[in-house]
Each structure stands twice: as C-alpha cells, then as structure tokens.
Amino acid sequence: MQFHLLARPRHWWVSLIELALVAALFFGLLTAAVALLSATGDDADVLELLSLALVLPAPFLAAWLTRRNPNALLSVEYRIRWPIVGRAALVAVPLYGLLAGIMFFSAEAVVTAHTIALACVYLLIIPFQAAMEELVFRAALPQIVGTWVRSPWGAYGAAIPPFVFLHVYNWIGLTDIFVFAICAAYLTWRTGGIEAATVLHAAGNLQIYLLIPFFPDDLTVTTDLDWGSVAFTIALTVIATALIARVVTRSRAVSNVYRVG
C-alpha cells in the first residue's frame, strides 16, 4: 500500500471532517502557543519555531478523532523507521554541516555562553518543527486527499500550495519553498514515509538557524530574498534529495517493505 493511500477505505465525509480538524487544530494550537510564548518576551525566531513545534500533536489528534490509526502518518510500517532516519542523516548532516562550517569560519563569529545556548535551543527545537510540518503537509493532507484521489500527483500536489503560501516570503523566496515542497513530497512518496523528508527539512533549517546566534549583525531571518541565495539553496535541496533518495532506497529498510518502480 502506498503511503498516501493509507487512510483508505473510508467514507468521503469522514475525510472531510479530518481535514477540518487538521486545519482547526493546526491554527488553534498555533494561536494558543504564540499567545502563551509571546508573554515570555524571548527571542522572536525561537518563539516562532517553538510555536510551530508545539503544533505537532494536531495531525495525530485529527486522525485519532476520526478513528484511524495515527501511526499511519509516520510510514507504511506505522512507525518511525530509524534506519531510514540514519541513512538520510548520513547524507544531509555532512552536506549541510560542511556548508555551515564554511560560513562559520569565513567570518568573525560572536562566540559567547549566550550564543552557544541559543544555538543549542535551535538544535533541540528545529527537528520537532520540521517533523510537524512534514506530518501535516506530507502525511495528513496527502492521506486525506488520497481517499478521494488515488494518484500521488493529486494527493501530494494538493498539499503544496498551502505549505508554500503559509510561508511569508517574497515570490523569489516562495519559489525556493515550492521546490523544497516538491522534493519533500518526492522523498515521502519514494520511501513510503516522512522520515527522509523530515531529515532534509531539519538539516536545511539547522544550517540557517545555527549560524544566526553567532552572527547577529550579519545574519537575520528575512522575507525579502534574492535570486543569488535562492538559486544556491534550490540546487543544494535538489542535490541532497537525489542523494538521500539513492542512499535510502538502496537500503533494506525500504526495499524489504516498500519500493516504487
């Protein structure tokens, strides 16, 4: 059974209810988290990422409330396949880590107890933030749409526009998000689960956010991106996706359970 079809068979209206629940829980939990965390007055970037991470239960709750197995959101094996996580990390971590290292040592970093602590906070939060977004946009939504449309193009494609337009960038930046969404959807479809896409997502975000504390005057999270930086990011995403897909799908973790083609 392909990953996007795991919610079958069910009545069409049950899927509609789950879709409404995912949306309500997503925005409800996000609003509550933002309101709660804003009262602390901490770093805005940390608060944004932590708020997103706290929304992680939303797709699981929506699936449970509509009486289907929430673990189907993880993979075709209804669990996290750690060998796939490991193999994807063996590709993504060195690739993005090398880039981060080059950027770190090419300029004068501000290394203090505070900046190290802030980097550690990002290191802890971002994997959960990435997992939440993959659970919603590469698992829950494609599986819901997959009860109405059998084609993976339709199921995964339907989740791309909301993922892209929930990011606040100029149109150049949204192009980068669009390409990433396609790559993450491909990895999810190709491997039968969200593990590889989550690793790619987390590695890409960590490469950016781990540097920000050490270069407070030079690096900021901006919504106005230019083609130079975006073209490089897109190329890196495509290369990382191709390498992860090759490494992961050659492993027994996928070949003995699920393989397309």
- Domain membership of residue 22 (yes or no) is yes
- Using 50, 70 and 90 to split pLDDT, how confident is the model at 77? very high
In a domain, 261, yes or no: no
Structure confidence at residue 222 (pLDDT): 66
pTM of the full structure: 0.91
Residue 208, token pair as written in the block: 């950016």
Say how far apart CA 249 and CA 239 lie, in whole Å: 16
Is 172 part of a structural domain of the chain?
A: yes
Going by pLDDT thresholds of 50, 70 and 90, the confidence category of residue 261 is very low
> How sure is the predictor about 259, in pLDDT bands with cuts at 50, 70 and 90?
very low
Average pLDDT over all residues of the chain: 90
Name the domain count of the chain. Answer: 1
Pairwise CA distance, residues 115 & 261, whole Å: 47
Q: Is 160 part of any domain?
A: yes
Q: Has residue 260 been placed in a domain? A: no
Determine the pLDDT at residue 129: 95
User: Residue 219: inside a domain, yes or no?
Assistant: yes
> CA 126, CA 110: separation in Å to the nearest integer?
22
Q: Is residue 62 part of a domain?
A: yes
Instruction: Summarize pLDDT for 99-133 with one digit per residue, the tens.
Output: 989 888 887 878 889 889 989 999 999 999 999 99
Instruction: Note whether 33 and 55 are within 8 A (CB).
Output: yes
Write out the residue range of the structural domain in which residue 30 sits. 3-255
Residue 20 lies in a domain: yes
